[in-house]
Amino acid sequence: MKKIVYLFVLAVVFASCEKNITLDLPKSESKVVVDGYVETGLPPYIVLSRSSGYFDPINASTINNLPETGAKIQINDGFLSVEMIEIDTVINGTIIRGIYFTNANLMIGIPGRTYTINITTKAGEVITSSTKLQLPVTLDSAWFKLQENNDTLGLTWAHLTDPDTIGNCYRWFAKRVTKDNLFLAPFGSTVEDKFFNGKSFDFAYNRGNIQNSTADDDNNAEVGLFKKGDTIIVKFCAVDKGTFEFWRDAENQMANNGSPFAVPSNIKSNISGGLGVFSSYSPVYDTIIAR
Architecture label for domain 32-132: Sandwich (2.60)
Host H or E run for residue 252: helix 241-256
How big is the CA angle at 246 (ends 163 and 196), to the nearest 5 degrees?
25
Residues in the chain: 291
Tens of pLDDT, residues 130-171: 999 999 999 999 999 999 999 999 999 999 999 999 999 999
Tens of pLDDT, residues 230-266: 999 999 999 999 999 999 999 988 877 756 566 666 8
Q: How many CA atoms lie within 13 A of 44 on its CB side?
A: 32
Please state which of the ranges 64-68, 128-132, 179-183, 261-265 shows the lowest mean pLDDT.
Answer: 261-265
Using CA atoms, how far apart are residues 222 and 152, in angstroms rounded to an integer? 9
Q: Rounded to the nearest 5°, which phi and psi values hold at 259?
A: -80, 125
CB atoms within 10 A of CB 238: 24
Q: Which residues does 210 contact at the CB level (< 8 Å), separation at least 6?
A: 184, 218
Higher pLDDT, 58 or 171: 171
CB atoms within 10 A of CB 193: 19
Could you tell me which of 286, 287, 283 has the C-alpha nearest to residue 42? Answer: 283
Answer whether residue 25 shows pLDDT above 90. no
Q: What is the pTM for the complete model shown?
A: 0.86
Contact 187, 257 (CB under 8 A): no
Using CA atoms, how far apart are residues 36 and 98, in angstroms rounded to an integer? 12
Tens of pLDDT, residues 207-217: 999 888 888 88
Q: How many CA atoms lie within 13 A of 142 on its CB side?
A: 21
List the domain boundaries for the chain: 32-132, 141-240
